[in-house]
Amino acid sequence: MLLTGAEILIKSLLDEGVETIFGYPGGAVLNIYDELYKYKDKINHILTCHEQGASHAADGYARATGKVGVCLATSGPGATNLVTGIATAYMDSIPMVAITGNVAQPLLGKDSFQEVDITGITMPITKHNYIVRDVNELQNIIKEAFYIAQEGRPGPVLIDIPKDITADKTQYNKIIPKEVVRKSEYITEKSLQEAVDLINQSKRPLIYAGGGIGIAEATEELLIFAEKINSPVSTSLMCMAEFPNNHELYTGMIGMHGTKASNIAATKCDLLITLGARFSDRVISNQNHIKNAKVLQIDVDPAEINKNVKVDTCIVGDLKVALSQLIPLINVKRNEEWINTINSLKENKKVKSDCGLTPELFFDKLNKLNDGSFIISTEVGQHQMWTAQYFNFRNERTFITSGGLGTMGYGLGAAIGAQVGKPDKRVINIAGDGSFGMNCNELVTAVKNRLPLIQVIMNNNCLGMVRQWQDFFYEGRYSQTTLDRPTDYVKLAEAFGAKAFRITEVDEIDYILRKALDSEGPVLIDYLINSDKKVFPMVAPGAPINQIISEEDINNN
């Protein structure tokens, strides 16, 4: 059967099980959009307000569902507008396929209208990318792209398709997608035994779990493993939702804004068991604090072993497979003295309602309303850290945030993707007023598609995290971090077609949250907080993570 390249693309996407595409049309992809029109009953296309929103939506869709997210943009500026979203997905190992159009092949390399070398631009931020030179290669390239995006350590793949390729015809025969098999060929008896010996000999183990747990769908294995060796569990930002936050072994987030229990445990443990984590500088900071501990690292990516921290032994392979093979081999442990020490470090601060509107109070109210169906996405900044510190995550794939790249403007697009992918859940995006201003136009996308997501703005009239650093390290010189914008976010949301509320008093929180949760469409909540509210605890950049700055320290200094 002879089909055009555009037809082959759409049929191949259907073969891969694609149900939703996020995108924005343009001249170089008109042939593709013409086919999407014909297949609109089989592929749901979400038209975003900006291509960056499309890339973040594809990312959020992938994180919430575990499927490959797909975004589509035209050539030139359309393609370059995807770059931030592609880089965000790359840093957090998210399976995504970005499809871009380009000018016809005879016009390539001639500075043609809306021409850009998008494969050259994205080479450092994709697992692989392609420019299709022959329509006969298109079908196999699509199959290969989806496989690469998912296998091993996932990541984004870009396919650049010149316009003449979408018009050229060739034979189409359905190809069954290649099965993605969990990597286990490097999990050896020797590596398992070395790990078992370290674990069995340890008296003060600490598990440091990263985003790889969720990617490998190894949340159940992590819980079984931790309970068998009775080890405290600390998590990176990317793993907050992959271990029950109310579990007795959970010590909270580790790192710059981590808990006292997690950070001090890292300095006192005799074995640091690192699962699917890359020892980010925001976690490890000064390495001297773990020099007395043995380090066991398990990761699917061999490039992560010994990259930032020298390990004593490692297992290279899929986390779900590795833990499944490791768990039967290890001894049951109690570590009672160590657990008592950890419990003494845990802080149980009661949330006060007499301090006005605070992030703690907002999340305390939200936690009480959570029936387990909430998916929380965030932008990047103080509000992101408050979310990690105060929201009680209960289920996997329910925390969607930009960790590695720290992309302001990420959350609303990602929330749209998550809500499309999980229509039975309620997605709540937590933003600062600075981050919200970057891609607030995507609220229109939520309105048009009647998505019942809730957009919360922690409105402190400043770029809070940068301002906090200016306060601590730049003697309070608030250079360009006080916003003083006259924008009325309630009126803005209503102009976009969304419902909106403003919270200015404590006794309004419960009522407005319930009103928002009862809404069938998108809702914005403008939550006014003090500009001087800071994220505590905090570890100064480059300092050991047990040198924790608390709010009391600041008040007493």
* Tokens at 252, concatenated: 């909270």
pLDDT at 276: 98
In 198-354, at which residue ranges do the beta strands (DSSP E only) sit?
205-209, 233-235, 250-253, 271-275, 294-299, 313-316
Before 154, cis peptide (omega within 30)? no
**Are the beta carbons of 501 and 515 closer than 8 angstroms?**
yes
**Are the beta carbons of 319 and 275 closer than 8 angstroms?**
yes
127 is catalytic: no
The whole-model pTM stands at 0.96
In 220-345, at which residue ranges do the beta strands (DSSP E only) sit?
233-235, 250-253, 271-275, 294-299, 313-316
* pLDDT above 70: percentage of residues in the chain: 100
Element (H, E) at 69: strand 69-73
> Position of tokens 């050259």?
120
More confident residue, 352 or 548: 548
465 is catalytic: yes
Q: Indicate if the pLDDT at residue 260 is higher than 70.
A: yes
Distance CA 135, CA 169 (A): 7
pLDDT at 557: 67
> Using alpha carbons only, what angle is made at residue 155 by residues 151 and 161, rounded to the nearest 5 degrees?
100
* Tokens at 535, concatenated: 């994220």
Using the Cα atoms of residue 343, residue 346, residue 352 and residue 357 in order, give the sign of their dihedral.
negative
pLDDT at 99: 98
* Tokens at 84, concatenated: 């931030």
In 137-240, at which residue ranges do the beta strands (DSSP E only) sit?
156-162, 169-171, 205-209, 233-235
Band (pLDDT 50/70/90 cuts) for residue 399 is very high
Catalytic residue chosen out of the listed positions 7, 465, 499, 534: 465
Catalytic residue chosen out of the listed positions 67, 114, 137, 228: 114
Q: Indicate if the pLDDT at residue 315 is higher than 70.
A: yes
**Nearest partner of 457 among 401, 525, 390, judged by Cα:** 525
pLDDT tens for each residue of 92-130: 999 999 999 999 999 999 999 999 999 999 999 999 999
51 is catalytic: yes
pLDDT tens for each residue of 47-59: 999 999 999 999 9
**Nearest partner of 550 among 538, 541, 540, judged by Cα:** 538
User: Which residues, other chains included, contact 485 with Cβ-Cβ below 8 Å and sequence gap of 6+?
Assistant: 433, 437, 461
Band (pLDDT 50/70/90 cuts) for residue 277 is very high
Distance CA 85, CA 57 (A): 9
pLDDT at 323: 98
**Nearest partner of 273 among 348, 221, 341, judged by Cα:** 221
Distance CA 395, CA 458 (A): 24
pLDDT at 423: 97
pLDDT tens for each residue of 478-518: 999 999 999 999 999 999 999 999 999 999 999 999 999 99
Which structural domains are found in the chain, ordered by start? Answer: 2-171 (3.40.50.970), 189-345 (3.40.50.1220), 359-552 (3.40.50.970)
Catalytic residue chosen out of the listed positions 1, 40, 113, 174: 113
114 is catalytic: yes
279: left (phi > 0), else alpha (psi -120 to 50), else beta?
left
**Are the beta carbons of 258 and 196 closer than 8 angstroms?**
no
Distances (CA, A) of 444 to 76, 366, 376: 24, 25, 20
User: Which residues, other chains included, contact 348 with Cβ-Cβ below 8 Å and sequence gap of 6+?
Assistant: none
Band (pLDDT 50/70/90 cuts) for residue 555 is confident
Give me the torsion for CA of 356, 362, 363, 369, rounded to 10°: 130
For 453-464, what is the mean pLDDT?
A: 98
- DSSP, collapsed to helix, strand or coil, labels residue 323 as helix
Catalytic residue chosen out of the listed positions 51, 151, 242, 304: 51
